[in-house]
Amino acid sequence: MNAKDLSIRLQKAAEYVPQGARLADIGSDHAYLPVALMLQNKISYGIAGEVVAGPFKSAQKQVAKNGLEEKIDVRLADGLEAVELADEISAITICGMGGVLIRDILQRGKEKNRLSGKERLILQPNVGEPQLRHWLVAEGYKIIEEAIVAENHKIYEVLAAEKASTTPEYTEKELFFGPILLQEHSPIFIEKWQHKLAKSEKILASLHQSDQDVADKIQAVSQEIEWIKEVLADAGK
């Protein structure tokens, strides 16, 4: 197995893992990410954490198949309970989940003293990116890397964050789109928000026809539409 075996989104996450890191991959599935990084000699130690028995066994098989049992621990645990402070983890990857679930995993990990605050967090949310960014900023993290990639007709965002010495300041708009992505205006970014604009406009139309009190929802969706139009106009689209 090598880096070419990783999906596009996992390869992008792999790029953000520091050289020589002690990595914990949470929700590791087949342990593809830590195995690939170990075979590239990019990490010095790995944990593959899984809460479900089936993927846990698959991860064990993948690690054994590549002869990495001494370098990658496969642990059956819920979220960051797979990690102990004594592991001295320097990077945590959580990929392929909703942003709210990733946020909740990090929050529980913080509450249970599983985060030292020294780790780089490399996160790939499938949805709910703004909620995840809000948590990171509230906890004193700075977003240091962001990417947006397309794979199998789906679009994914990947971000990396580290604790900042001073509290970072982001606008609501930056947290909605991603502060780095908002500056880059990549073709995939434009594609995502063109699609999102059409979807949001349909949602707004249906809200206006609702018999229920949805004034707050109308305001929120209207704000999103305004922002998206501004961003697309800035990008010349």
Per-residue pLDDT of 99-122, as tens digits, reads 999 999 999 999 999 999 999 999
Does residue 3 register a pLDDT over 80? Answer: no
Q: What is the pLDDT of residue 146?
A: 98
Does residue 60 register a pLDDT over 80? Answer: yes
Q: What is the pLDDT of residue 4?
A: 56
Per-residue pLDDT of 147-205, as tens digits, reads 999 999 999 999 999 999 888 899 999 999 999 999 999 999 999 999 999 999 999 99
**Strands 120-125, 91-97: parallel, antiparallel or unpaired by DSSP?**
parallel
Q: Which helix (H) or strand (E) holds 62?
A: helix 53-65
In what side-by-side order are the strands of the sheet with 120-125? Answer: 72-76, 43-50, 21-26, 91-97, 120-125, 154-163, 141-151
211 phi and psi, to 5 degrees? -85, -10
Token look-up 């596009």 returns 8
Higher per-residue confidence, 27 vs 1: 27
Q: What is the pLDDT of residue 237?
A: 64
Residue 63's pLDDT band (boundaries 50, 70, 90)? very high
Per-residue pLDDT of 67-102, as tens digits, reads 999 999 999 999 999 999 999 999 999 999 999 999
Q: What is the pLDDT of residue 217?
A: 93
Q: Which helix (H) or strand (E) holds 88?
A: none
Gyration radius (Cα) of the chain, Å: 19
Q: Are 93 and 23 in contact (CB under 8 A)?
A: yes
Residue 225's pLDDT band (boundaries 50, 70, 90)? very high
Q: What percent of the chain has pLDDT over 90?
A: 92
Q: What is the pLDDT of residue 134?
A: 97
Query: How distant is the alpha carbon of residue 162 from its chain centre?
Result: 13
